[in-house]
Structure 1
Amino acid sequence: MLRLVWGILFTSFCLYTGWVYLYCDEEAKTTENIHPAVTEGWNLWQQNNCQSCHQLYGLGGYMGPDLTNIARDSTKGKPYMYTFIKHGTGRMPAFNMTDDEVYRIIDFLEWVDKSGVSQVPAEAVHWSGTYIIDK
């Protein structure tokens, strides 16, 4: 009897795995829907080690600000981001990038901005410091 149960479970697992492999959304498996400028910006982000100081989605370094939603900030925009990336600040060095490279990083940051938020609303944080998921 136990062999029959295990046989049914194994067969079900194999059928389900095959179904997922054959019929899952092909678009979800690829990055074709991501513009090449965004991919290039992501590569530049990594090559210049931006994540060592900056965060995306709350993950990364803590010296610079979280840049997940920098593009939607109404007080900032492409000129603001361009100036900081191209010329640096007191704490952030200038990386001597070309204008095209700077705009690729901006394209990447705009894509990140559209994909999520980094700040958890204050009402979703419990007094103990944990998140309240059902709000």
Structure 2
Amino acid sequence: MNLNIFQQPRKVFIILFSFFFLFSLWIYAIPLFSNYQKPVKESKSIANGRLVWQKYNCHTCHQLYGLGGYLGPDLTNTYSRNKENETYLKGIIKSGVRQMPKFNLTDDETRELLAFLKDVDASGTADVNSYQPEINGTFSLKK
């Protein structure tokens, strides 16, 4: 009986497992040795605003960072485009315009949604061509 037949698959398995293990270590070590920025902890108001965004399915019509629906405008930089005029933004949210329905948000929900949009505005731009994908699955501005 030739034992070489049984030895070959074992060697292949050991080699493949070794590569998998080294690759896994490399992936998890990237943030330790790069200029990877840890996410900033968001305030409760911003987190609740994100929940309002999801609750009313704003993403089906609007985009953030170029991702989402195409019926309404991209809201990534809506806060700075409207010169931080919260009264104007509240009016649009409360009364609706054109295809946008009138939402019956509470004052707290409106305030939290605006805090979320203000945070999104401060975090980036809607121009997806100005970003590049990183190896760890995030995106950064092109240099």
Q: TM-score range by the shorter chain?
A: 0.5 to 0.7
- Taking only aligned residues, the RMSD between alpha carbons, in angstroms, comes to 3.5
**Aligned counterpart, 2:111:** 103
TM-score for both structures, normalised by structure 1: 0.68
User: Which has a greater percent of strand?
Assistant: 2
Cα contact 2:66–2:128 (8 A) shared by 1: no
**Aligned counterpart, 2:95:** 87
Measured in 2, the distance between the counterparts of 1:72 and 1:62 equals: 20
Aligned match for 1:116, one of 113, 121, 124: 124
TM-score for both structures, normalised by structure 2: 0.65
Which of the pair has more CA radius of gyration? 2
**Aligned counterpart, 1:54:** 62
| Post-superposition CA distance 1:64-108 (Å, at most 9, x none) | 100000111254521111111112123211111111100110011
Measured in 2, the distance between the counterparts of 1:53 and 1:72 equals: 20
**Aligned counterpart, 2:49:** 41
Unaligned runs of 5+ in 2: 1-7, 131-140
| Cα distance change on mapping 1:59 and 1:98 into 2, 3 Å | same
Measured in 2, the distance between the counterparts of 1:134 and 1:101 equals: 35
Measured in 2, the distance between the counterparts of 1:134 and 1:39 equals: 28
Measured in 2, the distance between the counterparts of 1:102 and 1:95 equals: 10
**Aligned counterpart, 1:130:** none
Percentage identity across paired residues of the two chains:
37
| Cα distance change on mapping 1:75 and 1:32 into 2, 3 Å | closer
Measured in 1, the distance between the counterparts of 2:22 and 2:106 equals: 55
